[in-house]
């Protein structure tokens, strides 16, 4: 089974993640109030007592008054203390035991009136009371009747499908030690079962105790108590805006320069329209939405299942997104500081996306098709149909996408677009290169439907006609990506097809050193003496045309030398190849003894030395080793995307980075995490684009340079021939069956394997992956090593480069099934863009 090499976090997650924790500050305020009252009354009594002593007269009336005051004070203090204890231990406990749900459904066959938009109108109150009574009746007679507390109708909105869309809160009281828990699916099922019993004639509308409800519209999500209190009627930080006229822009501006802010803006528009939100500028501190965030919901309540998009980073260029109906909720969470949001929203009338396209017979691009609402992000739900008409049965339609590709649908759902082309289903995926999809039919019908859980990147494609009997021009090779490249480019060492289909399964080019004809580009200036005469390694600083196998200098010029970066020789005219080379040069301690080095083995590994791999980082989730990482600078680490891509793993507050560590538990520096940057095209199904950046909250001190040092990033042209020896390191398991992690950092030597052999082993290998291992499988990475480095030297004694990131594999240490690594050289521009801009 192909698995990511990650270590499952141990222990269950805290149940308090689903509700707010008890506030110690709230309790201390009550206690302080009692103490203050008691002290105040005691001081008053003591002053009167002192005055009585000064008079030195025994007045029985005054003694009775003092006694009455004393008794009153004692009784008052006892009452206050009892009430405080009652509130803290009973009422407060009941409040903390509350489980909150946000939900919505459509009431059909009911006419929406404008007064429903105002919660203080008698019409709203009347309808809300009716719906509330119905929901209460359903749950009072259900299996959770003892736990049900109340329902609160938050909003009534018009709906593009007709009727009234109801947004509501439900509250259950679940004592921590008594009664069963209330699950999200259970609460939703109670509503659906009540409606399902009355469905007739395949209609989706049934009756909820006489209330016509669309069963397909029922959605219930667990929510936080803070969300409920923040959006409740009468809240001071909830604003409602209405767009009644299509295409009229309504400005939105939010400023938070005087402290923290947590507010909501509810947007609605006229029936038959959708809402387009445009974010022009958003100044926040990037923190993975933990502190500063703008969350956009496809509803009027903060429901997890209706999240349209989350802004977790500053926005400089405008971004727009579209709702699926005529409602939208903006949830702002801004911490202290000068935080600014500027944007606008407008109503857009719904349009049928259906196009008839007639193509000319001649060559060349004929036009462009785009995703709905382009250049806005794709909504969660949408549909578009294009019907092409060709002038001849010998012609088909070619769609050239810029950052998108179509593949036949398998047993899994389509996560980035569902396509039907002449009754055949395809799934869309985002990539960072062009692809061509050909339809060999005269009059094809192409249907597209949105299928992402949230707003997705838009796409566009140029369409043209092509000869179905000869897709590519004469003298060209047809790539698996649909691109056409010249035949002479096959097996030239360059990935012209963008998926290596022109480079795999090529016979190794001969080394013709004695001939006057030039050597194959693979052998020229690759750092190895392929010809005894050395002719392949001369004139390597000579400028050449820029390509994937040439090194590009800082001034834009390219030279023949492939591994010129940080090799100790200034090869570029501007000497840019030797800049930023304070990396990859460890100073390990001396080995204690050979026997100590072989005490613990991790799939053929041995103990590392102190300071031998100073860029190695151990990433701990909830206090346990989960993944590895590599240091790129004093602020940034690099790891695998699959370590942080799941929702429960995306919270940086749950992670700690242990740097400068040989033995687990003895790190020289432990750092909190500020944020993760997971590659936007990461594919959890095949681990393509499996790369992520990790930003530390605080840089590690320079005094620890002996133990903590960044590893060098390779140049995009970096190349290592098959068999080149590299090292993989980590604290992962020693075998597939092992259940005990080693305490000492392990290292194992592995060899680079050709892409052809890699594809023979696994099949689905992208150009952004590489394989490394040994034929016997005895040296390999395993679970717990994910995200760690595959470190390589271009030559003995040179600097170490981060050639790969531990990504996935079939088991651990299996023969002829090497480890699969993320090819770092393919992501240099992506890495530098994020590190320099953030």
Mean pLDDT lowest among 10-14, 41-45, 61-65, 827-831:
10-14
What is the per-residue pLDDT for 346? 96
Does the pLDDT at position 26 exceed 60? no
CA distance 820 to 805: 9
pLDDT of residue 799: 95
pLDDT at 10: 40
pLDDT of 51 strictly over 60: no
CATH class (in words) of the domain with range 236-349: mainly beta
> Which pLDDT score is estimated for 36?
43
Residue 710: the pLDDT is: 97
The topology (CATH level 3) of 601-837 is Thrombin, subunit H (2.40.10)
Neighbours of 18 (CB within 10 A): 15
- Comparing 146 with 515, which gets the higher pLDDT? 146
Query: 562 and 522 in contact (C-beta within 8 Å)?
Result: no
Q: How confident is the model at residue 494 (pLDDT cuts 50, 70, 90)?
A: confident
Beta strands in 660-787 (DSSP E): 669-678, 692-696, 725-730, 746-753, 769-773
Q: Is the pLDDT of residue 591 over 90?
A: no
| Main-chain phi, psi angles of 192, to 5 degrees | -65, -40
**What's the confidence (pLDDT) of residue 19?**
37
- 558 and 521 in contact (C-beta within 8 Å)? no
The predicted structure's pLDDT at residue 24: 27
Tally DSSP H helices, then E strands, for the chain.
9, 43
- State mean pLDDT over 703-713: 94
pLDDT over threshold 80, residue 60? no
The confidence band for 236, taking pLDDT boundaries of 50, 70 and 90, is: low
Task: Categorize the per-residue pLDDT at 414 as very low, low, confident or very high, splitting at 50, 70 and 90.
Answer: very high
Do residues 493 and 508 touch, judged by C-beta distance below 8 A? no
Does the pLDDT at position 404 exceed 50? Answer: yes
Residues in the chain: 838
What confidence category does residue 90 fall into, taking pLDDT thresholds of 50, 70 and 90? very low
Return the pLDDT at 1.
47
Instruction: Give me the pLDDT at residue 56, please.
Output: 43
Q: What angle do CA 679, 681, 682 make, to 5 degrees?
A: 70
Q: Looking at the predicted structure, is the pLDDT value of residue 695 above 60?
A: yes
What mean pLDDT, rounded, does the chain reach? 85
Position 9 pLDDT exceeds 80: no
**Is the bond preceding residue 499 a cis peptide, omega within 30 degrees?**
no
Fold topology of 99-230: Alpha-Beta Plaits (3.30.70)
Residue 95 has pLDDT above 70, yes or no: no
Q: Write down the pLDDT at residue 58.
A: 47
pTM score, two decimals? Answer: 0.84
pLDDT confidence of residue 809: 92
Q: How confident is the model at residue 25 (pLDDT cuts 50, 70, 90)?
A: very low
Instruction: Please say if the pLDDT value at position 397 is more than 50.
Output: yes
User: Would you kindly state where each structural domain of the chain is located, as residue ranges?
Assistant: 24-96, 99-230, 236-349, 601-837
pLDDT tens string 181-205:
678 898 999 999 988 877 777 778 8
Average the pLDDT over each of 28-37, 582-591, 821-830 and give the range with the smallest value: 28-37
Quote the pLDDT of residue 530.
Answer: 84
Say what the pLDDT of residue 80 is: 63
Q: Give the per-residue pLDDT at 691.
A: 98
Tokens of 566: 């940080």
Lowest mean pLDDT among 254-263, 264-273, 307-316: 254-263
Which helix (H) or strand (E) segment holds residue 55: the answer is helix 24-55
**Distance separating alpha carbons of residues 387 and 756, to the nearest angstrom:** 40
Place of tokens 């001034």: 555
Q: In what order do the strands lie in the sheet with 551-552?
A: 543-544, 558-559, 551-552
Residues belonging to the active site: 642, 690, 786
DSSP string, 194-236: HHHTT--TT-SEEEETTEEEEEEEEEEEEE-HHHHHHHSTT-T
Mean pLDDT of 274-279: 96
Whether 595 has a pLDDT exceeding 60, the answer reads no
DSSP 468-510: TT-SS-TTEEE-TTS-EEEGGGTTSS--TTSSSTTTTTPPPPP
pLDDT of residue 697: 93
d(CA 833, CA 680) in angstroms, rounded, equals 13
Q: Can you say whether the dihedral through the CA atoms of 370, 374, 379, 383 is positive or negative?
A: negative
CA–CA gap between residue 248 and residue 270 (Å, rounded): 12
What confidence tens digit (pLDDT) does each residue in 339-390 have?
Answer: 899 999 999 998 788 999 999 877 778 899 999 999 999 999 999 999 999 9
pLDDT of residue 672: 96
Whether 59 has a pLDDT exceeding 80, the answer reads: no
Give me the pLDDT at residue 279, please. Answer: 96
């Amino acid at each position: 089974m192909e698995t990511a090499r990650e270590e499952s976090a141990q222990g269950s997650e805290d149940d308090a993640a689903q509700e707010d924790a008890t506030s110690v500050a709230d309790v201390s305020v009550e206690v302080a109030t009692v103490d203050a009252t008691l002290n105040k009354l005691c001081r008053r009594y003591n002053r009167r007592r002192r005055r009585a002593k000064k008079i030195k007269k025994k007045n029985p009336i005054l003694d009775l008054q003092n006694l009455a005051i004393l008794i009153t004070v004692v009784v008052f203090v006892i009452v206050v203390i009892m009430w405080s204890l009652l509130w803290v231990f009973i009422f407060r406990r009941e409040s903390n035991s509350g489980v909150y749900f946000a939900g919505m459904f459509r009431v059909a066959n009911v006419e929406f009136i404008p007064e429903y938009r105002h919660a203080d109108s008698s019409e709203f109150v009347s309808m809300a009371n009716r719906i509330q009574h119905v929901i209460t009746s359903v749950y009072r007679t259900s299996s959770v009747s003892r736990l049900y507390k109340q329902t609160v109708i938050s909003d009534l909105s018009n709906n593009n499908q007709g009727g009234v869309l109801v947004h509501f809160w439900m509250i259950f009281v679940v004592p921590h030690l008594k009664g069963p828990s209330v699950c999200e699916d259970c609460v939703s099922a109670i509503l659906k079962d009540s409606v399902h019993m009355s469905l007739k004639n395949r209609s989706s509308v049934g009756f909820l105790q006489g209330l016509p409800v669309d069963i397909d519209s029922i959605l219930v999500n667990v929510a936080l108590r803070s969300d409920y209190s923040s959006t409740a009627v009468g809240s001071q930080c909830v604003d409602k805006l209405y767009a009644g006229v299509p295409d009229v822009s309504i400005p939105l501006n939010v400023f938070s320069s005087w402290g923290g802010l947590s507010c909501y803006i509810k947007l609605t528009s006229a029936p038959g329209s959708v809402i387009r939100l445009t974010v022009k500028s958003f100044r926040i501190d990037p923190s993975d939405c933990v502190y500063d965030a703008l969350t956009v919901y496809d509803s009027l309540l903060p429901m997890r299942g209706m999240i349209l998009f989350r802004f977790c980073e500053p926005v400089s260029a405008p971004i727009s997104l579209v709702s699926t109906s005529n409602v939208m909720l903006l949830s702002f969470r801004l911490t202290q500081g000068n935080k600014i949001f500027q944007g606008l929203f407008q109503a857009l009338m719904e349009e049928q996306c259906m196009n008839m396209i007639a193509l000319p017979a001649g060559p060349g691009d004929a036009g462009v098709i785009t995703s709905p609402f382009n250049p806005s992000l794709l909504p969660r739900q949408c549909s578009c149909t294009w019907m092409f008409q060709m002038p001849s049965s010998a012609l088909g339609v070619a769609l050239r996408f810029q950052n998108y590709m179509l593949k036949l649908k398998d047993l899994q759902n389509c996560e980035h677009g569902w396509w039907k082309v002449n009754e055949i289903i395809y799934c869309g995926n985002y990539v960072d290169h062009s692809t061509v999809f050909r339809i060999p039919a005269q009059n094809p019908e192409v249907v597209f439907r949105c299928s992402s859980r949230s707003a997705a990147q838009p796409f566009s494609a140029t369409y043209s006609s092509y000869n179905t009997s000869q897709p590519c021009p004469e003298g060209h090779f047809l790539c698996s990506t649909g691109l056409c490249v010249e035949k002479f480019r096959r097996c030239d060492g360059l990935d012209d097809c963008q998926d290596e289909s022109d480079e795999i399964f090529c016979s190794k080019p001969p080394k013709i050193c004695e001939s006057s004809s030039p050597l194959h580009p693979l052998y020229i200036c690759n750092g190895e003496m392929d010809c005894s005469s050395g002719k392949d390694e001369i004139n390597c600083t000579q400028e050449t045309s820029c390509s994937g196998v040439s090194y590009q200098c800082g001034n834009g010029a390219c030279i023949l030398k492939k591994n010129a970066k940080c090799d100790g020789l200034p090869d570029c005219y501007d000497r840019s190849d030797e800049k930023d080379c304070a990396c990859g040069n460890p100073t390990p301690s001396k080995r204690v003894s050979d026997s100590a080095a072989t005490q613990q083995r991790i799939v053929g590994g041995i103990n590392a030395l102190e300071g031998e791999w100073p860029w190695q980082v151990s990433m701990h989730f909830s206090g346990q080793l989960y993944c590895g990482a590599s240091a790129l600078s004093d602020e940034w680490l690099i790891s695998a995307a699959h370590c942080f891509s799941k929702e429960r793993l995306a919270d940086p507050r749950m992670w700690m980075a242990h740097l400068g560590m040989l033995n687990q538990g003895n790190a020289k520096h432990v750092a909190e995490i500020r944020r993760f940057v997971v590659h936007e095209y990461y594919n959890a199904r095949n681990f393509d684009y499996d790369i992520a950046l990790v930003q530390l909250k605080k840089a590690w001190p320079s005094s620890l340079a002996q133990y903590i040092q960044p590893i060098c990033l390779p140049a995009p042209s970096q190349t290592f021939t098959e068999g080149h020896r590299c090292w993989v390191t980590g604290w992962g398991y020693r075998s597939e069956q092992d259940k005990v992690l080693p305490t000492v950092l392990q290292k194992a030597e592995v060899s680079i394997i050709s892409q052809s052999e890699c594809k023979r082993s696994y099949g689905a290998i992208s150009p952004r992956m590489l394989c490394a291992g040994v034929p016997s499988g005895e040296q390999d990475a395993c679970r717990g090593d994910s995200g760690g480095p595959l470190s390589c030297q271009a030559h003995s004694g040179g600097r170490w480069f981060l050639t790969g990131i531990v990504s996935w594999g079939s088991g651990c240490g299996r023969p002829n099934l090497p480890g699969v690594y993320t090819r770092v050289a393919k992501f240099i521009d992506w890495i530098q863009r994020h590190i320099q801009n953030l």
